[in-house]
Structure 1
Amino acid sequence: MANSASITELRADSARAENSQREMGGEAPPGAPAAGRGDPRVAGLDADVIVVGGGLAGLQAARRMVAKGLRTIVLEARDEVGGRTKTVEVGGHRFDVGGQWTGPGQPRMYALIDELGLSTTPTYSKGKRILDLRGAISTYSGMIPRVNPWTLIVAQVGIWKIDRLCAQVPKDNPWDCPRAVEWDGMTALDWAKRNLRNDSVIAMVNGAVRVIFGTDMANLSFLHFLHYLHSGGGFAKLVESHDGQQDRWVVGGAQQLCTGMVPLAGTVHTGAPVRKITQDGDRVSVVSDKGTFTAKRVVVTVPIALADRIQYEPPLPTMRDQMTQRAGMGATIKVLALYDRAFWREAGLSGESVSTDLGTVTFDDTTPGGQAALLMFVTGSPARGWSERPAEERRRFVLDTLVRYFGEQARTPTHYLENDWAAEPFILGAPIATFPPGTLSAFGPALRAPVGRIHWAGTETALDSTGFMEGALESGDRVAQEVLSLVEVA
């Protein structure tokens, strides 16, 4: 009988478990003033800057500002830092149930990995892949699935069209695109129906969209779709593992990137969800469950939809308020099934599969230490449906699907665990915030624009690798420079 563990019963490591219940006072890097509890207050303020959110964006911003001499407090709602990264330990092996991958063209990720003394391992891609296209299963090698030749031609032409159009959308200000209003006035599905005109190709593109965005083409602004693809390097790079955005992953888990930055980030409070931000003259006050803190500036790095749940005084401008009201988080359930051996490799399979109907994608997630594992994403509208079902029904669906692709041996994992990101109260979904039609063209300029003493960051605000961990780090760097240009170091 398999040992089953829910995600809440697992702990990533003893250090994180200890830190999750207390305040973490970071040590400043050499040359920077000590930041945190022992500092004398300047002008009656608790800090120069308060950062809301202890994920990659928030901690990157905090450590950059601390390094320049600013006193910084980070307020993280959950009981541990990490944001949309989350690493768990099972049987002595560590797995990511949140953000996981990196790839070429992500310099900040590789720099941070090197700085923290971590390493990466390539995503396993040897063997045949599986495509479940509208209920018909086929295997293939390389990048070209074994489908009807005409379907392949339409798919390739469609990808070429998409990449050509996305290059016309500015990375910094997509709303300035000459066709912004036109493209923002339709969904990605609207465009696909008019231009692809092939149900199988549309199904394949929608399957990719579910994984990339956590939602379906019918819910997604075509302008937002094109902008995201341009930011990520094009359609193929976003969906590929080898030499794509899923090329490698951090050995020991991506959450180490966040825990590793804590000592450099000033004072970090966990278990401190922010309820209200008030701007009053030359200061801001931030009300959290760990108390009220005052500073010269505040940086909000939580997901856009979550930022909308904070009370602001005075209220946010209409542009910003309307944008956050319209942003919705994607739906993703990430599942791990561990086995005694990687039997799919023995059968010549890579572990990769995509289903256009079920909304699932799988990867081989076997650790460098040899713990065999299959990883499954349930995404988009299917994920929203399964979120409402009992856990045992979800488990049965997942294992039935794995058996469908990899054989009866997949039915009996040694361990099974899942993380439903839509059920995370301080995240609300994954992988990213998405925009429906009519949002970016009308309210997009408010995405990064400061509101008085409030500044914004997070992977959705990045120019490159939007939605990825690299994008979160980029946004942290950008907002740190923004604040440093306005705040005088004492």
Structure 2
Amino acid sequence: MGRTPLFRKLVLALQTARREILSSENLPLPLPRNVSNWSRRKFIKSTAVTSAAGLVSGCLSFPKAVQALPNKPVIAIIGAGIAGLNAAYRLKKAGHSAVVYEARSRIGGRMNSVDMGNGLIVDIGAELINTDHADMLELVEEFGIELFNRKDDQASLSYPLSAYFFNGFSITESQLAGDLRAIAEQMTTDAALLDQDWDTFAPQFDKLSVKDYLELHADKIGKPYLYALFRDVIHTEFGVEPEQSSAIQFILVLPVIDGKAVDLLSYSDETYSVVGGSAKITDALGADLAGQIQLSKKLIEIKRHAKKFKLEFSDHSIVFADLVIIAIPFPVLDKVKINAPLPKLLRRFIKEAELGSNEKVIAGFSKRFWRQANGFTDAAWSDLGFSEVWDETQRQSDRQDGALNFFLGGDQARSLGSRQEAIKLGKQFIARLNHFIPGATSSSTGQILNSAWTLSPLTTGGYANYKPGQLTRFGGLFWVESDIPDESQQVNVGNLILAGEHLSDAFYGFMNGAAQTGRLAADLVLEKIAVS
């Protein structure tokens, strides 16, 4: 978790509050996440036995027998986002040419960088990379793409890192940590329950929504603005309202302290952005795969045909493939007619899985007015109609002009309609921000861009969110990468393989989750070819 800059700040505030609690009660500090005996992976794995009942252990392999493949099998990949492109790239490096079919007229999926004018680059979609995002960092290194270290840049500035604007006031981080103390204590108690008996308590928390959890502990939330802040967290992290997000996702932000310093890597450190925009990565993959990508090819049906798969596209073209990697979001796949034997649970997963609604309203400014004593260098949370706002052009720190990303989630994002409505909304956000940070209105250039991922039938949203009960129900259907064979999980039905950020146990919601599952899907294809 931790897809947005300020999610990390909430974690830090909770960690500070929890540290004070444990210290005041002379209790031992918790172990760092990497040596603790509970984690999201354990949760995913512990649910696999029940959620994948009737399926082959560790994967969805059906049928069970190894299927013979021709000497040069035809490999088709559906979707030219980072998952599909990375799968094709890995296969090419191993000597196998796969064809990637993309419904759009461009590659990249939810990675899309645009020029606001005069070379000011912004990411309409995904943009941040963590230091533990090994697959993304490997691609960056292989293609010689330059990264910008956001932390180093922020450390060089003397202005506040973050800001919090609620109920007409600016709230300090120390005040926030103090106000979070009671709920942090409750979350500490619940963490202890999970630590003592994960298999019993994790499913119970998964059945609760975040709204249920907060209402259950309303006496621990003394300041009304905290409800708005928690709502912002769920908006930005999962793109839904608190009642639509599993409480287990919320509890898993619990503090992890190594004794003196806060360990943020298990959540998200968002250290890097890509110089020139994140689309430079997918563009590099696309260039390497020249001749292997077909655009404007929307899949409408996949059918089992003897030992092959018959793929039919909206332009009435037909392709027969021996191996297929499907790397599109489940809400999009749900619109595809699948005439192939799938386990009932997988069909249910495809039917019920949704992406959260997240959108960006990006405004241009002649100067970076937010870099002042009343402002921020990283980002801010608010109740001003947008959940958070951050510097979208920090990686171009040598420029005087810049752009802010007003980030929306849940109902905020779903209410974003026409282009004109987005422009109107952007102007309102600028005016409201000007109340807290003078200079917003006077430095506005009038340039406003917006994303529309939720309205697009080829995405339907921003990134994966799991509703109450879904992680328990579908925990056995995620890719799990582990050096221990019994802990690994693959997501395939025979020679039909699934990939995408929504299927990564460790990185769902991140570009790295998509890149990782694309790589794992390619590895599985290679395994099948090797044993056929």
Moved more, 383-392 or 187-196: 383-392
Corresponding residue number in structure 2 for 1:79: 105
Corresponding residue number in structure 2 for 1:278: 303
Equivalent of 1:210, from 235, 251, 271? 235
CA distance in 1, matches of 2:426, 2:208: 36
Corresponding residue number in structure 1 for 2:279: 255
Q: State the Cα distance separating 1:82 from its structure 2 match.
A: 0.8
- Kept in 1, the 8 Å contact 2:131–2:272? The answer is no
Change (3 A) 1:285 1:336: same
- Kept in 1, the 8 Å contact 2:82–2:108? The answer is yes
Corresponding residue number in structure 1 for 2:451: 419
Corresponding residue number in structure 2 for 1:172: none
Equivalent of 2:213, from 175, 191, 196? 191
Pairing 1:102-141 to 2, within 5 Å after superposition = 102-123=129-150, 125=154, 126=157, 127-128=159-160, 129-133=162-166, 135-140=167-172
Gaps of 5+ in 1: 1-41, 170-175
Change (3 A) 1:455 1:108: same
Corresponding residue number in structure 1 for 2:415: 385
List per-residue Cα deviations over 1:277-314 (Å, max 9, x = no partner). Answer: 11122111212245222211111111121111111013
**Count of residue pairs brought into register by the alignment:** 431
Q: State the Cα distance separating 1:155 from its structure 2 match.
A: 4.8
Change (3 A) 1:315 1:412: farther
Corresponding residue number in structure 2 for 1:364: 391
Q: State the Cα distance separating 1:380 from its structure 2 match.
A: 1.7
Corresponding residue number in structure 2 for 1:55: 81
TM-score by length of 2: 0.73
Change (3 A) 1:340 1:224: closer
Q: State the Cα distance separating 1:177 from its structure 2 match.
A: 4.0
CA distance in 2, matches of 1:472, 1:162: 31
CA distance in 2, matches of 1:489, 1:93: 50
Q: State the Cα distance separating 1:166 from its structure 2 match.
A: 7.5
Corresponding residue number in structure 1 for 2:15: none
Q: State the Cα distance separating 1:178 from its structure 2 match.
A: 3.8
Q: State the Cα distance separating 1:53 from its structure 2 match.
A: 0.9
Change (3 A) 1:104 1:400: same
- Kept in 2, the 8 Å contact 1:212–1:238? The answer is no
CA distance in 2, matches of 1:109, 1:482: 19
Equivalent of 1:333, from 359, 380, 386? 359
Q: Percent identity?
A: 22
- 1:361 is matched by which residue type in structure 2? E
Equivalent of 1:154, from 182, 189, 204? 182
Change (3 A) 1:402 1:489: farther
- 1:349 is matched by which residue type in structure 2? G
Moved more, 352-361 or 100-109: 352-361
Change (3 A) 1:167 1:382: farther
CA distance in 2, matches of 1:335, 1:89: 14
Corresponding residue number in structure 1 for 2:43: none
Q: State the Cα distance separating 1:393 from its structure 2 match.
A: 3.4
- Kept in 2, the 8 Å contact 1:52–1:301? The answer is yes
- 1:439 is matched by which residue type in structure 2? Q
Q: State the Cα distance separating 1:402 from its structure 2 match.
A: 2.9
Residue 182 in structure 1 maps to residue 211 in structure 2: no
Residue 269 in structure 1 maps to residue 299 in structure 2: no
CA distance in 2, matches of 1:437, 1:468: 21
Q: State the Cα distance separating 1:357 from its structure 2 match.
A: 6.4
Pairing 1:422-441 to 2, within 5 Å after superposition = 422-430=454-462, 432-441=463-472
Corresponding residue number in structure 2 for 1:18: none
Give the aligned CA root-mean-square deviation in angstroms.
3.3
Pairing 1:243-322 to 2, within 5 Å after superposition = 244-265=268-289, 267-289=292-314, 291-314=317-340, 316-322=342-348
Corresponding residue number in structure 2 for 1:31: none
Per residue, is there more strand in 1 or in 2? 1
CA distance in 2, matches of 1:207, 1:239: 21
Corresponding residue number in structure 2 for 1:374: 404
- Where 1:344 maps in the other structure, the secondary structure is coil
CA distance in 2, matches of 1:470, 1:485: 22
- Where 1:70 maps in the other structure, the secondary structure is coil
Change (3 A) 1:223 1:345: closer
Change (3 A) 1:263 1:396: closer
Q: State the Cα distance separating 1:145 from its structure 2 match.
A: 4.5
- Kept in 2, the 8 Å contact 1:305–1:328? The answer is yes
- 1:48 is matched by which residue type in structure 2? V
Residue 201 in structure 1 maps to residue 226 in structure 2: yes
CA distance in 2, matches of 1:357, 1:348: 16
CA distance in 2, matches of 1:79, 1:229: 42
- Where 1:350 maps in the other structure, the secondary structure is coil
- Kept in 2, the 8 Å contact 1:120–1:248? The answer is yes
- Kept in 2, the 8 Å contact 1:338–1:413? The answer is yes
Q: State the Cα distance separating 1:463 from its structure 2 match.
A: 2.9
- 1:275 is matched by which residue type in structure 2? I
TM-score by length of 1: 0.79
Moved more, 305-314 or 393-402: 393-402
Residue 396 in structure 1 maps to residue 422 in structure 2: no
- Where 1:349 maps in the other structure, the secondary structure is coil
CA distance in 2, matches of 1:328, 1:236: 30
